[in-house]
């Protein structure tokens, strides 16, 4: 009872702080709504410098939260990814801020028209637990480039990282510029109820629906990056070692806890046995041992670990063949939360692993006789966040690009599309909406204000009422075609 009361008191305190910070940022934006290009670049450079300064603290916090997560995994996928994006935006934000010149039809000439990209105001950022630094810093950098203020709600599953991010942000920003408000699920619920000027959410489709529903009460626009089941198509003639190395890099980095990780395989039936054997060889070369291997990331918590075990047991119970790769896995126990790669052969669509996003080192392999059949199957499923094709045939590559709809895709690679700052990143349909990264992200978190300016001479005055006069007849005769 005492613990429960303490929990409630702490939650109430966090919610009060959240509301207070939100109001401070709203008021600050009223009095200083449009930072200059110089100020935005300064903010981005401050973020860059403080991220470098706190790198060690962040990677250590990430290791504590996961149990086992190599510092190189965190450096490459959280720190370096964030830094590259911040530097990219700092170099270009001045150019992005320049008003664009839209086309103006002859009816309105002579006028000057322009589109000015202005800050929206206060942006709410809800970060996930799988890459909690990068998935907070990427939208934050975009929000700052667009001239906004921001509040970050880190995941409750990574409390050490949340604290490290909070200390880092407080090192260089005041709370009315950027703030971090950690807390449990209740804080997140209250977060989505606030009338932000924009919310960026990265997480599951289920939670994304709740975020969008809450945001709708305030007519708050949302950017949702929601994941989903990202398929990988294997062609009939791609060298399997090339394919599997790249595929398993994307599937086993962070133990598959990546929103754009390959979720299931569509493979020609005649190649499945070779594909399985190649997976065994490649995975073992990546991770010769599992239990005491610091290179192999743990599942984030027991809840997620048990969920993944449930996927495996469900597949076995429904007739699938499950292959656990790596002989050392027999020494594992649930306390370590180390789950080796599991291949699921002959999966059926009623299995949980074929219905829900896996988000872990489980890989269903479904027989599919041709690329055309693979595309037909994918089109019957909810639109994925990413799609992968492995094959060097240019005709097939073109077929896959032109006959599939997904948030992004790779030909002969996996997950690295997220690292390209100049390409939009986002989902479509159940895998999300909106984009961030680069100029697309800048526009996403900016208000595009149209401005029309007419000179002293009013050329369209002859078109004013009363109608059915000479100029109206002239327009009707020569321009309505």
Closest CA to 387 of 250, 286, 241: 250
Residue where the block lists tokens 């190395």? 245
Q: Which long-range contacts (CB under 8 A, 24 or more apart) does 464-468 make?
A: none
Residue pair 359/205 in contact (Cβ under 8 Å)? The answer is no
3-state secondary structure of 368: coil
Report whether 86 contacts 267 (CB < 8 A). no
353 is annotated as an active-site residue: no
CA dist list (Å): 360 to 181, 296, 301, 340: 28, 12, 12, 10
Using CB atoms within 10 Å of the CB of residue 83, give its burial: 0 to 12 exposed, 13 to 18 middle, 19+ buried: buried
Sheet order of strands, 149-153 included: 178-180, 149-153, 122-126, 198-202, 222-225, 432-433
Is the distance from CB of 257 to CB of 360 less than 8 angstroms?
A: yes
Q: Which of 225, 357, 396, 444 is catalytic?
A: 225
Q: How far out from the chain centre does Cα 407 lie?
A: 10
Strand pairing category for 342-345 and 321-324: antiparallel
Query: Catalytic one among 175, 190, 259, 444?
Result: 259
From the list 253, 251, 276, the residue with the least C-alpha distance to 264 is 251
Of 473, 98, 66, 115, nearest in space to 294 by CA: 66
Closest listed residue to residue 254, CA positions, set 378, 425, 133: 133
Left (φ > 0), alpha (ψ -120 to 50) or beta: where does 356 sit?
Answer: beta
- Provide the annotated active-site residues: 225, 259
């Amino acid at each position: 009872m005492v613990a429960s009361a303490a929990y409630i008191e702490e939650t109430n305190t966090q919610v009060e702080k959240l509301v207070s910070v939100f109001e401070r940022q709203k008021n600050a934006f009223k009095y200083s709504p449009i930072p200059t290009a110089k100020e935005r670049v300064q903010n981005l450079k401050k973020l860059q410098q403080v991220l470098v300064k706190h790198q060690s603290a962040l990677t250590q916090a990430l290791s504590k939260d996961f149990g086992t997560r190599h510092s190189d995994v965190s450096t490459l996928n959280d720190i370096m990814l964030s830094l590259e994006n911040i530097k990219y935006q700092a170099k270009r934000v001045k150019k992005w801020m320049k008003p664009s010149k839209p086309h103006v039809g002859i009816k309105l000439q002579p006028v000057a028209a322009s589109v000015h990209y202005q800050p929206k105001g206060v942006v709410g950022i809800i970060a996930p637990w799988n890459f909690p630094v990068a998935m907070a810093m990427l939208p934050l950098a975009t929000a700052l480039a667009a001239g906004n203020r921001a509040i970050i709600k880190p995941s409750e599953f990574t409390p050490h990282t949340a604290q490290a991010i909070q200390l880092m942000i407080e090192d260089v920003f005041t709370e009315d510029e950027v703030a971090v408000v950690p807390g449990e699920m209740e804080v997140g619920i209250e977060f989505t109820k606030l009338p932000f000027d924009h919310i960026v959410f990265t997480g599951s489709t289920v939670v994304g629906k709740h975020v969008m529903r809450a945001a709708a009460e305030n007519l708050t626009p949302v950017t949702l990056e929601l994941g989903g089941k990202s398929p990988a198509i294997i062609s009939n003639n791609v060298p399997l070692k090339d394919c599997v190395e790249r595929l398993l890099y994307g599937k086993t980095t962070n133990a598959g806890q990546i929103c754009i990780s390959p979720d299931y395989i569509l493979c020609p039936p005649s190649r499945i046995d070779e594909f399985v054997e190649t997976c065994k060889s490649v995975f073992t070369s990546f991770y010769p041992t599992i239990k005491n291997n610091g290179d192999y990331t743990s599942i984030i918590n027991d809840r997620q670990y048990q969920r993944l075990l449930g996927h495996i047991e469900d597949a076995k119970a429904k007739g699938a063949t499950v292959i656990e790769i790596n002989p050392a896995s027999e020494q594992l126990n649930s306390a370590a939360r180390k789950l080796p790669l599991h291949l699921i052969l002959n999966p059926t669509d009623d299995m949980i692993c074929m219905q829900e996003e896996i988000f872990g080192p489980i890989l269903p392999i479904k027989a599919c006789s041709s690329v055309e059949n693979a595309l037909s199957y994918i089109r019957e499923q909810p639109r994925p966040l990413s799609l992968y094709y492995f094959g060097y045939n240019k005709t097939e590559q073109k077929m896959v690009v032109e006959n599939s709809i997904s948030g992004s895709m790779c030909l002969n690679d996996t997950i690295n599309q997220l690292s390209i700052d100049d390409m939009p990143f986002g989902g479509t349909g159940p895998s999300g909406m909106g984009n961030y990264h680069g100029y697309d992200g800048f526009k996403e978190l900016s208000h595009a204000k149209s401005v029309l300016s007419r000179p002293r001479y009013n050329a369209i005055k002859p078109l004013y009422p009363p109608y059915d006069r000479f100029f109206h007849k002239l327009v009707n005769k020569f321009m309505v075609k």
